[in-house]
């Protein structure tokens, strides 16, 4: 009997704004909250694993949330200082993870987390946003009345830009360096429409040339990881000399995390600037669908440094924001071997052939430019796909 697949909920288009929370001694309260949320996650994951071993399915949020209420009243009263909707968000996150485990082959079941690996908390209520600061409502135990009372704390953040739309919820995130970030999620769907240019372009990804456009333009990647590889190796060598778990060891770990964050920020900034430039110049942008897992097995670190998947997601978002048409051709669409002039396939073409001549019509081709032209044609019509 075939298992019935649950229908995926259609994702709502929302916009997220990221701000850095300023360093302050009371940020320790945020760290304590994330550590307690990690305990909540691990506790309910044990219950789910036990339920799965006995019944072969997961308990679900609607069984676990009433159980959380009993725990807060009896054995785990120390969790009650965290807002209830933040605790419920941990259970909802587990519920979604188990749904994916049962519905999608190849997706693993949820894992236990260390306290330094649980990094985000969601607030749907119990917060107040003002210019440059946010107020979170925690609870503290009052000895006189012998019950929890609200204790509202203010946290300052660097507001480098204003958010638009109605705030749906906020998230507090702690990265590997130990810096806290505020994410404000709004329902803003406004677009910054750019003037039409009437131009279309196909883009072919490559290992030597990052992006080859169908108009003949070639864009090279700065390869930020390769630029910082010598410094990264030096930091890892320094880490290997430290006693694991010591203060100097943790200091070296944070230095590595800080450099990795810097590399990722450089790469992301370049991706955004490149995507914005393409949207300003073209009305339709077509790319290919890559088998990134297979490419990583062949080229490893180089594919991770180029980050094709991240750029495609950024380009898709930018096309939505600026009202551009973004299309992707199928992974198995023939784009490299067909001649862009006559359409005949060159079956003898190898990966080392960067320049080749069509044996049918005699047209000379640059391998990447020819593929970019075929990508654009496949995105606009079924001409190449039918060859």
Domain that holds residue 129: 15-186
Residue pair 274/310 in contact by the 8 Å Cβ criterion: no
Question: Is 368 domain-assigned?
Answer: yes
**What sign for the dihedral angle of Cα 361, 365, 367, 370?**
negative
pLDDT, mean of residues 111-117: 92
Tokens matching residue 236:
């890892």
What pLDDT was estimated at residue 235? 97
Quick one: pLDDT at residue 246? Answer: 95
Would the pLDDT of 90 be above 50? yes
47, 64 Cβ separation under 8 angstroms? yes
Q: Kindly state whether residues 218 and 351 are assigned to the same domain.
A: yes
Exposure class string for 260-288: b at 16+ Cβ within 10 A, else e: beebeeebeebbeebbbebbeebbbbbbb
Neighbours of 203 (CB within 10 A): 25
Shared-domain flag, residues 31 and 179: yes
Q: pLDDT, tens digit, for every residue of 271-310?
A: 999 999 999 999 999 999 988 888 888 888 999 999 999 9
**Helix (H), strand (E), coil (C) string for the chain:** CCCCCCCCCCCCCCEEEEEEECCCHHHHHHHHHHHHHHHHHHHHHHHHHHHHHHHCCCCCHHHHHHHHHHHHHCCCHHHHHCCHHHHHHHHHHHHHHHHHHHHCCCCCCCCCCCCCCCCEEEECCCEEEECCEEEEEEEEEECCCCEEEEEEEEEEEECCCCCCCCEEEEEEEECCCCCEEEEEEECCCCCCCCCCCCCEEEEEECCCCCEEECCCCEECCCCHHHHCHHHHHHHHHHHHCCCCCCHHHHHHHHHHHHHHHHHHHHHHHHHHHHHHHHHHHCCEEEEECCCHHHHHHHHCHHHHHHCHHHHHHHHHHHHHHCCCEEEEECCCCCCCCECCCCCCECCCCCCCCCEEECCCCCCEEEHHHHHHHHHHHHHHCCCCCCC
Active-site residue flag, 142: no
pLDDT given for residue 287 in this prediction: 94
Residue 6 lies in a domain: no
Are 369 and 220 contained in the same domain? yes
Q: Which of 36, 48, 288, 305 is catalytic?
A: 288
CB 364 within 8 A of CB 357: yes
Looking at the structure, do residues 165 and 204 belong to the same domain, yes or no?
Answer: no
In a domain? residue 70: yes
Does 9 fall in a domain? Answer: no
Same domain, 216 and 109: no
Query: What is the per-residue pLDDT for 233?
Result: 96
Domain boundary among 138, 164, 186: 186
Q: Are residues 58 and 115 in the same domain?
A: yes
Q: Are 222 and 370 within one domain?
A: yes
Instruction: List all residues 6 or more positions away from 110 whose beta carbon is below 8 Å from its beta carbon.
Output: 45, 48, 94, 97, 98, 101
Residues counted in the chain: 387
pLDDT of res. 12 = 65
Instruction: State the average pLDDT for the chain.
Output: 89
Query: Are residues 75 and 113 both part of a single domain?
Result: yes
* One domain, residues 135 and 263: no
Last residue within a domain, chosen from 162, 186, 210: 186
Contacts of 329 (CB under 8 A, 6+ apart): 286, 287, 288, 289, 335, 375, 378, 379, 385
368 is catalytic: yes
Residue 273, domain member (yes or no): yes
Q: 173 and 282: one domain?
A: no
CB 384 within 8 A of CB 213: no
Tens digit of each residue's pLDDT (9 = 90 or more) over 6-36: 444 455 678 999 999 999 999 999 999 999 9
3-state secondary structure 27-75: HHHHHHHHHHHHHHHHHHHHHHHHHHHHHCCCCCHHHHHHHHHHHHHCC
Tokens of 230: 């010598």
Classify residue 192: in a domain, yes or no: no
Domain boundary among 127, 158, 186: 186
Does one domain contain both 170 and 209?
no
- The pLDDT of 89-103, averaged and rounded, is 94
Is residue 195 included in any domain, yes or no?
Answer: no
Same domain, 223 and 170: no
The reported pTM is 0.86
Catalytic residue among 204, 269, 313, 341: 204
pLDDT in tens, 221-268: 999 999 999 999 999 999 999 999 999 999 999 999 999 999 999 999
204 counts as catalytic: yes
Residue with tokens 């067909």: 338
Domain total in the chain: 2
Residue 249 lies in a domain: yes
């Amino acid at each position: 009997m075939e298992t019935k697949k649950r229908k995926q909920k259609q994702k709502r288009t929302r916009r997220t704004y990221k701000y850095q929370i300023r360093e302050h001694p009371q940020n320790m309260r945020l760290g304590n909250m994330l550590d307690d949320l990690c305990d909540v996650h691990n506790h309910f994951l044990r219950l789910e694993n036990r339920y799965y071993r006995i019944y072969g399915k997961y308990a679900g949020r609607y069984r676990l949330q009433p159980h959380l209420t009993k725990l807060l009243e009896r054995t785990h009263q120390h969790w009650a200082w965290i807002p209830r909707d933040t605790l419920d968000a941990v259970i909802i996150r587990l519920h979604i993870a188990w749904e994916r485990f049962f519905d999608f082959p190849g997706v693993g079941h949820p894992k236990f987390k260390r306290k330094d690996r649980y990094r985000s908390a969601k607030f749907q209520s119990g917060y107040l946003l003002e210019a440059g600061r946010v107020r979170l409502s925690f609870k503290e135990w009052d000895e006189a009345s012998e019950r929890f009372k609200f204790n509202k704390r203010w946290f300052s953040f660097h507001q480098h830009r204003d958010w638009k739309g109605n705030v749906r919820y906020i998230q507090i995130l702690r990265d590997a360096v130990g810096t806290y970030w505020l994410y404000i999620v709004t329902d803003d769907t406004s677009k910054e429409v750019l003037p039409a240019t009437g131009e279309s372009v196909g883009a072919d990804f490559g290992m030597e040339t990052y992006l080859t456009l169908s108009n003949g333009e070639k864009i090279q990647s700065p390869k930020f990881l390769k630029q910082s590889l010598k410094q990264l190796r030096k930091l890892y060598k320094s880490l290997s000399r430290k006693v694991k778990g010591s203060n100097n060891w943790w200091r070296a770990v944070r230095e590595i995390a800080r450099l990795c964050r810097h590399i990722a920020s450089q790469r992301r900034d370049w991706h955004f600037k490149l995507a914005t430039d393409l949207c300003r110049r073209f009305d339709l942008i077509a790319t290919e669908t890559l088998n990134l897992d297979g490419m990583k097995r062949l080229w490893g670190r180089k594919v991770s440094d180029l980050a094709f998947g991240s750029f495609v997601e950024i380009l898709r978002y930018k096309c939505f924001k600026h009202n551009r048409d973004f299309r992707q051709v199928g992974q198995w669409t023939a784009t490299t071997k067909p001649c862009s002039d006559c359409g005949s396939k060159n079956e003898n073409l190898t990966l080392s052939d960067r320049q080749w001549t069509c044996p049918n019509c005699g047209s000379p081709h640059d391998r990447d430019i020819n593929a970019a032209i075929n990508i654009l044609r496949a995105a606009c019509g079924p001409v190449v796909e039918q060859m």
